[in-house]
């Protein structure tokens, strides 16, 4: 074994081998994969080998499509058969709600380039002869489904990587990992030591144990999973003989089953409700090529449905039941990327569908390691979407919930209960008493809306039980004054003698003067967005710019801290702290917001003394606060930041003072309705790392001409000169009883040309609205757009100016 390598990949399952292959294909060849046993000795060897393009997240779906397209290439490169059978498949709906969901999947497929087609149950039965069409209301045909040989694929990746110069050491177990003072990693194995610049944890079933070697507790948990293989079936033989083809794949969502042909019989697997984690606390090192005891009682309820939906199963015997463990992250998506605070340590684990996702994971990670950027939008897989709050017990609760809901519908207004409440703010019980209906963001409970006694969310694709109540909250804000809890924003304090210079290089905006705030886009080297913040200068007029406050997307706190810390100077001249729950927030907004604030503070909050985008420390009642005159509602409003021990007092003071002005509470659904009619985008929706500031309409906040050589400047200037490719646009949609939520296709002139990033009902303007990206060539067309929603296309018109307060009189007045 070599003693030095640029990269050590730990784990020779499908994921580790894919990472190795992609690193080699991109030109890094001083790379070594260490496997404690034979390749495939984790969950890989007993996989059912199914592969699918569809995924709830469109960007993950793209990477799945890439994975499937890769098999031919690695087969040719390696000379190793992958056993790929691209049979195609049917996705089956037994309920109308499921069919609505499937129509959304077909619609997404249009801009993802995935060939999906809605078909009737009878047409489905012509393609997949074992199903009883009377059990279904509709189906979708997917030509890109299929199955493969898990071991063949893994060895093909490894052989192809070796041909390109990579090395693989089998029967070499990594026993500990130590970071040297010079930043290199000592990877200590049972066969000696390798020093590496980069280490990739692709430990699969042992990813937790590998993480623990350096004090990292990863949110992954293995679950037992069962599939059965039947005896040979005459129906299968007859079909094979008649058509000369295999029986195609089927996913029966309502039966929670997947099926495919396996030799002369069928394979049927299920994600059972009564599921069981495996090795909850640590994975035994002596586990290898063995299976777990099958437990047919656990899967019996699903099999019962399966035997009804596919009656031929009633006449056949079960030859074998496979039960094996594989790992999940709390939301079921992989954990990929660099780990905050551990330069050179990367993860590629929690991959629950290695044969659909392994290629995309390997590609993104290799790009990231070599180019400094994953090269695709992999937000949904980024390890940084979890922070310390994703503890082992939380992960256990969430993974079990996710597993049991693998094939369940999640409605747009449906909040999932497991692992909650975990993080709450001090006003949690006060807001609950007012009817708060809670959602969750980055582990923190956030009020979505306020329900009268006896009313709650009825889950639906269409406008639902909250509609009229959210409308009332919006009216309160636009006509009087509303109060909302805003602690779920991420808050950062930047201090130190080098703070101003550092921020000037990190952020693309012009730095504000003391006592002022600004909107601050943050770019990557390629000139695309990696963040958008509000930046406040907390220094006094004669300070040296040493005290700054940033507020940004709450769900991106770890993501942004990873970026900030990677760019901090080594000399200690700048300090940054994510304030998390150490700082809570309240916001008041609406035409009477200033009157309320004026009642509770001695500070002068008149428009002259405290204009739009001003910031100052002031007392709210007895509570010391930091107040900024800004509001995401686009109305006259204030964000009030307060230490948690004062939050209840500040809340009660504001509510009492607001009584005479008709103050009311509003939640994040009302906030969404309010920001949409102002054409305000939000992080992870409109603003993502694949869009440039010009495309996203944030160019007006970029100080292209500022002296500081900010990150991404050159590329941003080039984007401005060349015009980029896309434009973010706001639309008014002639929708009927449902509104878009995001990821719907935008049609123009009879073809799909763009996609929706978010939408909803703008209650104050009384219209359905959407935001989304379209090619710049058509972005200024007044007419001709349609947005597809639940299988129908609705006319949509570009709304160039905000529907509310286009002249900014309310906001700045």
Ligand X SMILES: Cc1cc2nc3c(=O)[nH]c(=O)nc-3n(C[C@H](O)[C@H](O)[C@H](O)COP(=O)(O)OP(=O)(O)OC[C@H]3O[C@@H](n4cnc5c(N)ncnc54)[C@H](O)[C@@H]3O)c2cc1C
Q: How far apart are the first and last CA of the chain?
A: 71
CB-neighbour burial class of residue 776 (10 A; exposed 0-12, middle 13-18, buried 19+): middle
Q: Which is nearer to ligand X, 212 or 685 (CB)?
A: 212
Q: Which is nearer to ligand X, 18 or 518 (CB)?
A: 18
Q: Which is nearer to ligand X, 9 or 107 (CB)?
A: 9
Q: Which is nearer to ligand X, 359 or 760 (CB)?
A: 359
The region of 39-47, 313-321, 335-343, 746-754 touching ligand X under the rule CB under 6 A is 39-47
Rounded least distance, CB 733 to ligand X, Å: 37
- What does the block give as tokens for 690? 């694949």
Which one-letter DSSP state was computed for residue 280? S
Given 5, 9, 50, 196, the residue binding ligand X (CB under 6 A): 50
Return the bridge partners of 516, or none.
614
E strands in 160-244: 167-169, 174-179, 185-189, 192-201, 221-230
> Can residue 322 be called a binding residue for ligand X (CB under 6 A)?
yes
SS3 label, residue 738: coil
Return the bridge partners of 641, or none.
585, 626
Contacts of 20 (CB under 8 A, 6+ apart): 9, 31, 33, 157, 158, 161, 166, 168, 362
> Can residue 206 be called a binding residue for ligand X (CB under 6 A)?
yes
Rounded least distance, CB 627 to ligand X, Å: 48
> Can residue 292 be called a binding residue for ligand X (CB under 6 A)?
no
Given 37, 167, 232, 235, the residue binding ligand X (CB under 6 A): 37
Rounded least distance, CB 14 to ligand X, Å: 5
Contacts of 385 (CB under 8 A, 6+ apart): 331, 379, 555, 558, 559
Rounded least distance, CB 264 to ligand X, Å: 19
Rounded least distance, CB 352 to ligand X, Å: 5
Given 42, 109, 330, 760, the residue binding ligand X (CB under 6 A): 42
Given 25, 41, 496, 616, the residue binding ligand X (CB under 6 A): 41
Q: Which is nearer to ligand X, 224 or 719 (CB)?
A: 224
Return the bridge partners of 325, or none.
224
Number of alpha carbons in the 13 Å side-chain half-sphere of residue 437:
22
Rounded least distance, CB 75 to ligand X, Å: 17
Rounded least distance, CB 735 to ligand X, Å: 37
Rounded least distance, CB 168 to ligand X, Å: 11
Q: What is the spatial distance between Cα 45 and Cα 200, in angstroms, rounded to a whole number? A: 21
The region of 42-50, 482-490, 689-697, 767-775 touching ligand X under the rule CB under 6 A is 42-50
Q: Which is nearer to ligand X, 37 or 235 (CB)?
A: 37
Rounded least distance, CB 224 to ligand X, Å: 8
What pairing do the DSSP bridges indicate for beta strands 249-252 and 89-93?
Answer: parallel
- What does the block give as tokens for 341? 């605070």
791: left (phi over 0), alpha (psi -120 to 50) or beta: left
Contacts of 460 (CB under 8 A, 6+ apart): 411, 413
Q: Which is nearer to ligand X, 12 or 255 (CB)?
A: 12
Given 185, 278, 355, 559, the residue binding ligand X (CB under 6 A): 355
Binding mask 162-181 toward ligand X (x if CB under 6 A, else -) reads -----------xx-------
| Cβ atoms 689, 657 nearer than 8 A | no
Span 323-352, contacts to ligand X by CB under 6 A: 324-326, 349, 351-352
Q: What is the spatial distance between Cα 444 and Cα 480, in angstroms, rounded to a whole number? A: 28
Q: What is the spatial distance between Cα 456 and Cα 439, in angstroms, rounded to a whole number? A: 13
Given 7, 16, 255, 630, the residue binding ligand X (CB under 6 A): 16
The region of 7-15, 594-602, 656-664, 704-712 touching ligand X under the rule CB under 6 A is 7-15
Q: Which is nearer to ligand X, 287 or 612 (CB)?
A: 287
Please report, to the nearest 10 degrees, the dihedral formed by the alpha carbons of residues 274, 279, 282, 287 taken in order: -150
Q: Which is nearer to ligand X, 273 or 793 (CB)?
A: 273
Angle at 274 between CA 268 and CA 278, to 5 degrees: 85
> Can residue 152 be called a binding residue for ligand X (CB under 6 A)?
no
SS3 label, residue 519: strand
Which one-letter DSSP state was computed for residue 516? B
| Cβ atoms 563, 393 nearer than 8 A | no
Given 5, 10, 199, 550, the residue binding ligand X (CB under 6 A): 10
Q: Which is nearer to ligand X, 154 or 487 (CB)?
A: 154
> Can residue 85 be called a binding residue for ligand X (CB under 6 A)?
no
H or E, element range at 257: strand 257-262
Rounded least distance, CB 86 to ligand X, Å: 14
| Phi, psi dihedral angles at 343 (to 5 degrees) | -55, 130
Q: What is the spatial distance between Cα 408 and Cα 809, in angstroms, rounded to a whole number? A: 47
Q: Which is nearer to ligand X, 64 or 647 (CB)?
A: 64
Q: What is the spatial distance between Cα 690 and Cα 743, in angstroms, rounded to a whole number? A: 15
> Can residue 210 be called a binding residue for ligand X (CB under 6 A)?
yes
Q: What is the spatial distance between Cα 505 and Cα 715, in angstroms, rounded to a whole number? A: 14
> Can residue 146 be called a binding residue for ligand X (CB under 6 A)?
no
Rg (CA), the chain: 27
Q: What is the spatial distance between Cα 491 and Cα 724, in angstroms, rounded to a whole number? A: 31
User: Closest Cα partner for 791 from 97, 138, 107, 55?
Assistant: 107
Given 47, 91, 576, 738, the residue binding ligand X (CB under 6 A): 47
| Cβ atoms 177, 214 nearer than 8 A | yes
Q: What is the spatial distance between Cα 128 and Cα 448, in angstroms, rounded to a whole number? A: 43
Given 356, 408, 668, 765, the residue binding ligand X (CB under 6 A): 356
The region of 198-206, 528-536, 591-599, 635-643 touching ligand X under the rule CB under 6 A is 198-206
> Can residue 87 be called a binding residue for ligand X (CB under 6 A)?
no
The size of the interface with ligand X (CB under 6 A), counted in residues, is 41
> Can residue 35 be called a binding residue for ligand X (CB under 6 A)?
yes
Given 58, 255, 337, 354, the residue binding ligand X (CB under 6 A): 354
Rounded least distance, CB 368 to ligand X, Å: 17
Angle at 261 between CA 255 and CA 263, to 5 degrees: 145
Please report, to the nearest 10 degrees, the dihedral formed by the alpha carbons of residues 434, 437, 440, 444 taken in order: 10
The region of 204-212, 466-474, 565-573, 614-622 touching ligand X under the rule CB under 6 A is 204-212
> Can residue 13 be called a binding residue for ligand X (CB under 6 A)?
yes
**How many CB atoms are located within 10 Å of the residue 274 CB?**
12
Rounded least distance, CB 710 to ligand X, Å: 38
Q: What is the spatial distance between Cα 499 and Cα 327, in angstroms, rounded to a whole number? A: 42
H or E, element range at 696: none
> Can residue 89 be called a binding residue for ligand X (CB under 6 A)?
no
User: Closest Cα partner for 152 from 81, 247, 232?
Assistant: 81
> Can residue 36 be called a binding residue for ligand X (CB under 6 A)?
yes
> Can residue 12 be called a binding residue for ligand X (CB under 6 A)?
yes
Given 91, 236, 353, 684, the residue binding ligand X (CB under 6 A): 353
Binding mask 565-604 toward ligand X (x if CB under 6 A, else -) reads ----------------------------------------
The region of 97-105, 199-207, 337-345, 681-689 touching ligand X under the rule CB under 6 A is 199-207
Given 88, 152, 203, 265, the residue binding ligand X (CB under 6 A): 203
User: Closest Cα partner for 166 from 355, 31, 360?
Assistant: 31
Q: Which is nearer to ligand X, 77 or 322 (CB)?
A: 322
The region of 9-17, 115-123, 180-188, 380-388 touching ligand X under the rule CB under 6 A is 9-17
- Residue ranges in contact with ligand X by CB under 6 A: 10-16, 34-37, 41-44, 46-50, 173-174, 202-206, 210, 225, 227, 322, 324-326, 349, 351-356
């Amino acid at each position: 074994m070599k003693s030095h390598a640029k990269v050590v990949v730990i784990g020779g399952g499908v994921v580790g081998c894919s990472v190795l292959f992609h690193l080699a294909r991109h030109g890094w060849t001083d790379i070594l994969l260490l496997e404690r046993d034979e390749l495939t000795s984790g969950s890989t060897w007993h996989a059912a080998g199914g592969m699918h393009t569809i995924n709830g997240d469109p960007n993950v779906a793209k990477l799945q499509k890439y994975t499937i397209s890769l098999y031919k290439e690695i087969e040719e490169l390696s000379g190793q058969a992958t056993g790929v059978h691209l049979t195609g498949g049917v996705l089956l709906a037994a309920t109308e709600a499921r069919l609505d969901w499937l129509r959304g999947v077909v619609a997404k497929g249009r801009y993802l380039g995935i060939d999906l087609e809605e078909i009737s149950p009878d047409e489905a039965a012509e393609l997949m002869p074992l199903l009883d069409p009377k059990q279904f209301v509709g189906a979708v045909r997917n030509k890109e489904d299929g199955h493969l040989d898990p071991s063949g694929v893994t060895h093909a990746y490894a052989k192809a990587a070796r041909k390109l110069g990579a090395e693989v050491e089998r029967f070499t177990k990594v026993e500990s990992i130590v970071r040297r003072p010079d930043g290199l990693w000592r990877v200590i194995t049972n066969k000696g030591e390798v020093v590496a610049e980069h280490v990739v944890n692709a430990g699969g079933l042992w990813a937790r144990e590998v993480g623990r070697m350096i004090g990292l507790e990863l949110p992954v948990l293995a679950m037992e999973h069962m599939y059965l293989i039947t005896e040979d079936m005459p129906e299968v033989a007859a079909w094979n003989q008649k058509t000369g083809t295999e029986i195609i794949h089927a996913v029966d969502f309502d039966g929670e089953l997947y099926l495919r042909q396996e030799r002369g019989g069928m394979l049927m697997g299920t994600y059972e409700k009564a599921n069981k984690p495996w090795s909850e606390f640590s994975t035994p090192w002596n586990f290898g090529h063995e299976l777990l005891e099958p437990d047919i009682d656990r899967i019996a309820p699903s099999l019962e449905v399966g035997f009804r939906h596919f009656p031929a199963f009633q006449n056949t015997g079960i030859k074998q039941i496979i039960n094996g463990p594989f790992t999940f992250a709390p939301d079921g998506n992989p954990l990929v990327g660099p780990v905050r605070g551990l330069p050179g340590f990367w993860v590629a684990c929690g991959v629950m569908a290695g044969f659909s996702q392994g290629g995309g994971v390997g590609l993104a990670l290799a790009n990231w390691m070599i180019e400094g950027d994953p090269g695709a939008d992999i937000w949904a897989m980024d390890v940084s979407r979890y922070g310390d709050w994703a503890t082992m017990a939380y992960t256990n609760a969430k993974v079990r919930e996710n597993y049991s809901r693998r094939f369940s519908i999640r409605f747009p207004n449906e909040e999932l209960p497991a692992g909650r409440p975990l993080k709450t703010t001090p006003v949690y019980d006060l807001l609950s008493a007012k009817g708060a209906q809670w959602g969750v963001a980055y582990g923190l409970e956030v009020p979505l809306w306020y329900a009268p006694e006896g009313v709650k969310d009825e889950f639906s694709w269409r406008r639902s039980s909250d509609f009229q109540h959210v409308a009332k909250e919006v009216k309160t804000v636009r006509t009087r004054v509303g109060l909302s809890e805003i602690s779920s924003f991420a808050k950062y304090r930047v201090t130190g003698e080098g703070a101003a210079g550092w921020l000037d290089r990190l952020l693309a905006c012009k730095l504000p003067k003391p006592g002022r705030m600004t909107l601050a886009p943050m770019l990557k080297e390629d000139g695309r967005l990696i963040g958008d913040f509000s930046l406040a200068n907390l220094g006094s007029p004669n300070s040296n710019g040493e005290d700054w406050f940033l507020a940004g997307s709450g769900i991106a706190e770890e993501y942004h801290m990873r970026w900030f810390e990677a760019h901090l100077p080594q000399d200690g001249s700048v300090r940054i702290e994510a304030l998390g729950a150490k700082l809570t927030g309240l916001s008041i907004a609406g035409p009477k917001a200033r009157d309320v604030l004026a009642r509770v503070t001695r500070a002068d909050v008149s428009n002259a003394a405290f204009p739009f985008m001003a910031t100052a420390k002031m007392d709210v009642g007895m509570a010391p606060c930091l107040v900024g005159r800004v509001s995401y509602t686009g109305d006259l409003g204030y964000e009030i930041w307060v230490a948690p021990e004062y939050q209840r007092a500040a809340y009660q003071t504001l509510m009492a003072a607001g009584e005479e002005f008709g103050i009311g509470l509003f939640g994040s659904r009302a906030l969404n309705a309010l920001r949409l009619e102002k054409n305000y985008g939000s992080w992870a929706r409109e603003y993502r790392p694949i869009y440039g500031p010009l495309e996203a309409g944030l160019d007006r906040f970029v100080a292209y001409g500022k002296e500081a050589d900010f990150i991404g400047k050159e590329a941003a200037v080039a984007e401005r000169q060349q015009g980029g490719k896309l434009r973010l646009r706001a639309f008014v949609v002639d929708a009927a009883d449902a509104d878009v939520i995001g990821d719907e296709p935008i049609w123009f002139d009879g073809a799909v040309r763009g996609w929706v990033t978010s939408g909803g009902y703008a209650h104050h303007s009384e219209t359905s609205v959407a935001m989304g990206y379209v090619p710049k060539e058509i972005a200024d067309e007044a007419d001709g757009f349609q947005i597809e929603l639940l299988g129908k296309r609705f006319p949509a018109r570009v709304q160039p100016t905000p529907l509310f307060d286009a002249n900014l009189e309310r906001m700045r007045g």
